[in-house]
Structure formats: structure tokens, C-alpha cells
Amino acid sequence: MAKQRETRWVKLLAACIVRPLISLVTKPEWKGTEHVPAEGGVIIAANHLSMADPLTVAHFLYVGGRRWPTFTMKEAVLKIPVVSWVARSTGQIPVKRGSTDAIKALHEAELALTRDGASVIFYPEGTCTRDPQLWPMTAKTGVARLALTTGVPVVPVAHWGEQELLPYGAKKPSLFPRKRVQFLAGPPVDLSRFRDQPLTATLLREATEAIMADITALQATIRGEQPPAVPYDMKRARLEAGQAEEKQAEERNGAPGEAGAEDGRSSAGA
């Protein structure tokens, strides 16, 4: 029997406060809600545009999908007294990054999916996209691993519009006029070819790419645009930026040994 993760009255209170606020500043458009199962464990895998989209994704899932949203939340957020109390009372999963507690969080997510039949929202990218055109980036493999170990479906969800409400890096939201926020959920990602196989790094990477490909295709449908052939890779971009800076520094200062060579030629000529 599924365990009740949330305190009912806190859950009701949170819904009564958050729903009107989101409706006040956004004009949501939801499609594909029929793909969200009515019950049982499910992973909701979404792209990440803005620090505001956890609220809009939760709104989509709670009202459109008729499921209670469960997030994995950074421990730093849970140190805020009121937020911590609300988060724990509504069944959210704390994550202490960079430590063995991250493994505990993964185990807690497994229990939420398999024992409690929860609908758990994940951002496979791990952070807001840095793609210049805001397309989904390459992702971490944690969601694929969780899906393959638990056997629960992964419902891909794409959204667009929160970047107008609160662009990444902005400190103040642009609340008015109300922003159009579009959501499109697709059928569960087909991971059948990856199941019942050893969870190698290659297999997890390919399963992750399959999840992100579905999310990207859904966002392309919303935007009516063609996504890039190769997803933006933040690590590669940082590496290339570092190499470019080093090259520019060498050009400004002269390549090592170049000044000495010139001095040698001048002395010989004298």
C-alpha cells in the first residue's frame, strides 16, 4: 500500500496559496496531460529554463496532470525555516550535493517512486540551460539510472515561456503583463531496449540521450523551430572558452620564446 508522503492540510494550504499566485502572473497552456498516469510511480522529466519554472512545472502537474508534485531539493533551500517546514510536510526530497547524502537522496527517490507511488519531477540537465537559444542541453545520467532500476515510466515534459518571467541570472522577475507559458507532455519514453542489461556508462548515456531527445522534440513542437543537431554541452563549452582565453593571452603577450628569438636576431644584426 502506498505511503502518504504529504501532510494533507499543509498540502491544501500550499495549493491554495501557490495556485492563485501562478495564475496571476502567467497564462498557462497545457497539452498532453493525458500522458501523465493517474496513479503509480512516475518520473516527470522536464527541461529547465528558469528559476521560476519549478513553480510552473508543479502547477502543470498538480492541476493539469492531477498529481502531487514531488521534487528533489537542494539542502541549502531546506535551511530556510518556513520553506524547510513546507517542503518536508509536502513530501519533497532533500539533496545534499557533493556528499554521500546524494546517494541517500537517490534511495529516497526510489522509495518515493516504488513504495509511495509518487510523481517525482526531475531536471535531467541538473541546472538551467546555458544554450544560447535556450534549447535543452546534454544531461546527467541519474534519471536514466533511476528509471531503469525502478522500472517506472518516464514522461517527458517540455515548456516554454518562463524565460520571459525570470531569465536565468536575473534577480527580479518581470511579473506584468502576464506571461504565456506553454507545456507539452509526451508519451512515456521508450526505454525498452535498455532494460535488463548491465548499467554501463555507455548504456546510461544512450538512455539519457533518448530521454532528452523526446524532451527536445516536444519543445521544438511548442516553438515551431528546428533544434540544433547536437545539444549544447556546458562542460565542452567551458573547456573551449578556457582554451580560447589561453590562446588570446598568448597572442597578447607573445608566444613563449618568441621575444627571446627576436632579441637574438637583433644582437646578431648589431
- Residue 192: inside a domain: yes
pLDDT higher than 80, residue 79: no
Beta-bridged to residue 85, according to DSSP, are none
| Averaged confidence pLDDT in the chain | 87
> Are residues 123 and 257 located together in one domain of the fold?
no
For the chain, counts of helices (H) and of strands (E): 10, 7
Residue 159: pLDDT over 80: yes
User: Do residues 228 and 251 share a domain?
Assistant: no
Per-residue pLDDT, 1: 46
Q: Are residues 22 and 151 in the same domain?
A: yes
28 shares its domain with 118: yes
pLDDT, position 267: 37
User: With contact defined as beta carbons under 8 Å apart, do 124 and 140 qualify?
Assistant: yes
Range of the domain at 222: 8-232
Confidence of residue 213 (pLDDT cuts 50, 70, 90): very high
Calpha distance 49→53 (Å, rounded): 7
The phi-psi region of residue 256 (left if phi > 0; otherwise alpha if psi is between -120 and 50; otherwise beta) is beta
**Distance from C-alpha of 181 to C-alpha of 102, rounded to nearest angstrom:** 32
2: pLDDT strictly greater than 60: no
Structural domain tally of the chain?
Answer: 2
240 and 173 in a single domain? The answer is no
148 inside domain: yes
Q: What pLDDT digit, counting tens, does each position of 115-156 carry?
A: 999 999 999 999 999 999 999 999 999 999 999 999 999 999
pLDDT at 230: 96
What is the pLDDT confidence band of residue 235, given thresholds at 50, 70 and 90?
Answer: very high
